[in-house]
Amino acid sequence: MDRVIIFDTTLRDGEQSPGATLNVEEKVDIAHQLERLGVDVIEAGFPVASPGDFDAVERIGREIRESTICGLARAVPLDIDRAYEALKHAADPRIHVFVSSSDIHLLHQMRKQRGEVLELAEAMVRRAKGYVANVEFSPMDATRTDREYLVEILAVAVKAGATTLNIPDTVGFAVPDEYGDLIAYLIDRVPGADKVVFSTHCHDDLGMAVANSLAGVKRGVRQIECTINGIGERAGNCALEEVVMAIRTRRDFVGVDTRIDSTQLYKTSRMVSNYTGILVQPNKAVVGANAFAHESGIHQDGILKDRSTYEIMDPKEIGLSDSTLVLGKHSGRHAFKTRLEDLGYQLSAEDLNRTFARFKEIADKKKAVSDQDLAMIVSDEIRMPTEIYRLDHVQVSCGDHSIPTATVRLIGPDGTILCDSATGTGPVDAVYKAINRLINFENRLIEYSVQSVTAGLDAIGEVTIRIEAEGRVYGGRGADTDIIVASGRAYVNSLNKLIVATKPAAAISI
């Protein structure tokens, strides 16, 4: 059976989601998880964009050996040179060169004629080819580009040495039949098409990114560009977990396969959600909290008699367990560790101690701790080396006839204990003001949202916030059975990201 290459651009296009800023350590951590997932190509970043992006691509190139590592570059000499500098230590490097091709972009953005862009595409693909054997070329906004001109620019790229031709639906404009027809047209007419791999890169502005990608596969595409949880510019990209499970579940229709280890999908989804601060909606296909939940009595009856009546996928395929009541307050460390290993988590002794202590705290408050709760505990407690402050204690006094007051204790750099109090318009506001007195970094809260991880009055609440400072947005996330504590965790998490992004490590002090 044909195999489709899975090209993950979570670390590049995915990070372009508003507020989804990732630091170098987080990117490297995600890259290792993508390698475990079985991703064929990891687009690690845009090296010329910033020193941080360059460092992330370079480190990922050095550390990841089982996946091709790709760096994005505009059709600009400096971009291509920087991409190679970042990738030169990678086991299998790829430079991804892109240039606009639609008349809309050429007229309003590039201010160039078609002939000029053809010359630019040829020269820059050739420049990239001088550095690496593996070169991808993308004519940006391909689905709104004149077809004859699209054939011309792709032919130039092939002649210059491109090995992959990516056909981006940059603004999510195409519909499946139209996109599939475009792919067939190009494969039939581009000289040398049989010597290159055709690729999809579909955005989800009209909710058809996965459908368009599959339509491309049916017409000859053998690489799909996608992101974990479908994050990315505007409405996002083709969701990796959705397109992979669609291919696996409907092999009879699609006729291809991937080398993805689907049991790693849920864990990868949670990791990306945790690090970016972008929540996965409950009704999200494949990895959403409700994806394998059944409330209707008719559905429950069918599932109890035969799972296939209302489920087309086995939850174990994506790394979930059938169990909903797994662990409680009487469970020991061994059972806890074994259950985490069953879910795909391999923790160090230090991380295991910390997560077990947090599990015991929650188990005292909840009758049962589910797999979703465990995933939350792990993602909330495993901290990156760049964490500067940690919330240690929160105490709040409030009511309809009192002034909301909060006392907060933080663990700072080198284990320093910091404590202060503040009043506010409500308990969360008071907690945030107390934290601000201890961590003096000017910012503005622009988004605050709460959702429950599981059902019931004892459910764990997950708080996601976004703060803005100097024109940049930083996401934060925290979880606890007490929503005020979860709010404090989320705020400290976002402030840590702000501090790391704006101050050199040596300058962080209290």
Task: Please state, in angstroms and rounded to a whole number, the distance separating the CA atoms of residues 455 and 104.
Answer: 49
pLDDT for residue 500: 83
Task: Return the closest-CA partner of residue 95 out of 151, 53, 138, 56.
Answer: 138
Structure tokens at 53: 């992006």
**Residue environment code for 138-169, b if the CB has 16+ CB neighbours within 10 A, otherwise e:** bbbbbbbbeeebbbbbbbbbbebbbbbbbbbb
Among the listed ranges 9-23, 95-109, 337-351, 375-389, which one has the minimum average pLDDT value?
375-389
Task: Please state, in angstroms and rounded to a whole number, the distance separating the CA atoms of residues 110 and 106.
Answer: 5
Task: Work out the mean pLDDT of the chain and round it to a whole number.
Answer: 90
pLDDT for residue 439: 93
pTM for this prediction: 0.77
pLDDT for residue 457: 67
Q: Do 15 and 42 form a contact (C-beta atoms < 8 A)?
A: no
Task: Return the closest-CA partner of residue 286 out of 204, 228, 346.
Answer: 228
Task: Please state, in angstroms and rounded to a whole number, the distance separating the CA atoms of residues 165 and 462.
Answer: 41
Enclosing H/E stretch for 479 = strand 472-480
DSSP-assigned beta bridge partners for residue 93: 69
Q: What is the mean pLDDT of residues 399-404?
A: 90
**Cβ-count burial of 71 within 10 angstroms (0-12 exposed, 13-18 middle, 19+ buried)?**
buried
| Three-class secondary structure assignment of 387-416 | CCCEEEEEEEECCCCCCCEEEEEEECHHHC
Task: Return the closest-CA partner of residue 92 out of 140, 44, 56, 48.
Answer: 44
Task: Measure the N-to-C terminal CA separation of the chain; round to a whole number of Å.
Answer: 59
For residue 455, pLDDT over 70 is answered with: no
For residue 377, pLDDT over 90 is answered with: no
Task: Please state, in angstroms and rounded to a whole number, the distance separating the CA atoms of residues 399 and 367.
Answer: 28
**Per-residue pLDDT tens over the stretch 312-371:** 888 889 988 754 434 677 777 887 887 788 777 888 888 888 888 888 888 887 766 777
Task: Please state, in angstroms and rounded to a whole number, the distance separating the CA atoms of residues 216 and 181.
Answer: 8
Task: Return the closest-CA partner of residue 322 out of 298, 304, 335, 299.
Answer: 304
Split at pLDDT 50, 70, 90, the class of 384 is low
Does the domain at 390-507 match CATH 3.40.50.1370? Answer given as: no
For residue 297, pLDDT over 70 is answered with: no
pLDDT for residue 476: 87
DSSP-assigned beta bridge partners for residue 224: 6, 200
**Per-residue pLDDT tens over the stretch 159-171:** 999 999 999 999 9
pLDDT for residue 386: 60
Q: Do 498 and 469 form a contact (C-beta atoms < 8 A)?
A: yes
Q: Do 22 and 276 form a contact (C-beta atoms < 8 A)?
A: yes
For residue 506, pLDDT over 50 is answered with: no
3-state helix, strand, coil in the chain (%, to 5): 45, 20, 35
Q: Do 421 and 407 form a contact (C-beta atoms < 8 A)?
A: yes
What fold, for 2-276? TIM Barrel (3.20.20)
Q: What is the mean pLDDT of residues 93-116?
A: 95
Q: Do 30 and 22 form a contact (C-beta atoms < 8 A)?
A: yes
Q: What is the mean pLDDT of residues 86-101?
A: 98
For residue 429, pLDDT over 60 is answered with: yes
Q: What is the mean pLDDT of residues 83-103?
A: 97
The rounded percent of the chain whose pLDDT value lies above 70 is: 93
DSSP sequence for 92-150: SEEEEEEEE-SHHHIIIII---HHHHHHHHHHHHHHHHTT-SEEEEEEETGGGS-HHHH
Split at pLDDT 50, 70, 90, the class of 509 is very low
**Per-residue pLDDT tens over the stretch 123-160:** 999 999 999 999 999 999 999 999 999 999 999 999 99
Beta strands in 253-344, from DSSP E residues, in sequence order: 256-257
DSSP-assigned beta bridge partners for residue 272: none
All residues at 6 or more sequence positions from 477 whose CB lies less than 8 Å from its CB, including other chains: 273, 274, 277, 380, 462, 463, 464, 465, 489, 490, 493
DSSP sequence for 213-232: HHHHHHTT--EEEEBGGG--
**Per-residue pLDDT tens over the stretch 299-321:** 657 766 777 888 888 888 998 87
DSSP sequence for 319-362: T--S-S--B-TT--HHHHHHHHHHTT----HHHHHHHHHHHHHH
Task: Please state, in angstroms and rounded to a whole number, the distance separating the CA atoms of residues 395 and 409.
Answer: 9
Task: Please state, in angstroms and rounded to a whole number, the distance separating the CA atoms of residues 148 and 437.
Answer: 62
Task: Return the closest-CA partner of residue 267 out of 230, 320, 315.
Answer: 320
Exposure of 179 in the CB half-sphere (CA atoms within 13 A): 31
**Per-residue pLDDT tens over the stretch 406-419:** 999 999 988 899 99
Beta strands at 405-411 and 417-423: parallel, antiparallel or unpaired: antiparallel
**Which residue bears the tokens 């970043």?**
45
Exposure of 423 in the CB half-sphere (CA atoms within 13 A): 5
All residues at 6 or more sequence positions from 197 whose CB lies less than 8 Å from its CB, including other chains: 5, 163, 164, 165, 222, 223
Enclosing H/E stretch for 271 = helix 265-276
pLDDT for residue 508: 42
The rounded percent of the chain whose pLDDT value lies above 90 is: 65
